[in-house]
Structure 1
């Protein structure tokens, strides 16, 4: 068994697609339109057949309270692995990405947390 698909709820799918591709460096895998919403996934360019991230619309009534509570408590909605958190932090900050947590070393892991501009906090991390 392996993870095929996971998702983050986003306030605006087109804005999310731009952020996740232009800033974070993912590539679009699927884009299927269903009225105003889309089945919209991105993947890592390093593993185009790997786990897909669904940029899921936030239309369900339970989503906004859930996202608001996570952000208020500083809890990331997802975590992405990087080879060098500090280098990725500097690269992304140079692209205008806002971080809510600068790189932090904890035991064998280094993490940082960014705002995806679509209602989520996203963690980047490296485990030694």
Structure 2
């Protein structure tokens, strides 16, 4: 068994698509209209056949309090792995991405956390 699709709740799919593709470098895998929203998944350019990330609308009433609580407590919604955390921090910083946690050691990894502009904190991990 393996993970096929996982999702992150986003406030605005258009805004999320721009951020996750134009800033983070993911590529759209699926973009299927579903009523007012879309089945919108992105994949890593490094693994185009890998796990898909669903940019899922935050329409359900339970989502906003859940996301707000995570952000208030500084808890990332998801974690992405990078090869060079310092280089990625610099690249994203140059694109005006706001970091809430600068790169730091955390046991067997180095980590940093940024705001995805869609209501989530995202953690970047570099394996030591």
- TM-score normalised according to structure 2 size: 0.98
Tell me the distance in 1 between the aligned counterparts of 2:109 and 2:49: 27
Residue equivalent to 2:6: 6
Instruction: Measure the CA separation in 2 of the matches of 1:106 and 1:124.
Output: 12
Which of structure 1's runs of 4+ aligned residues deviate more than 6 A? Answer: none
Instruction: Give distance in 2, aligned partners of 1:118 and 1:108.
Output: 29
User: Which residue does 1:91 correspond to in 2?
Assistant: 91
What is the Cα deviation at residue 21 of structure 1? 0.3
SS at match of 1:60: coil
The RMSD of aligned alpha carbons is 0.6
Number of equivalenced pairs:
128
Question: How far apart, CA to CA, are the structure 2 residues paired with 1:41 and 1:65?
Answer: 24
Matches for 1:47-58 after TM superposition, within 5 Å: 47-58=47-58
- Matches of 1:23 and 1:49 in 2, distance apart? 20
**Which residue pairs with 1:22 in the alignment?**
22
1:31 aligns with 2:31: yes
Query: Displacement of 1:107 after TM fit?
Result: 2.3
Give 5+ residue unaligned stretches, structure 2: none
Per-residue deviation, 1:106: 1.8
Deviation at 1:108, TM superposition (A): 1.9
SS of 2:21 mapped into structure 1: helix
Partner of 1:121: 121
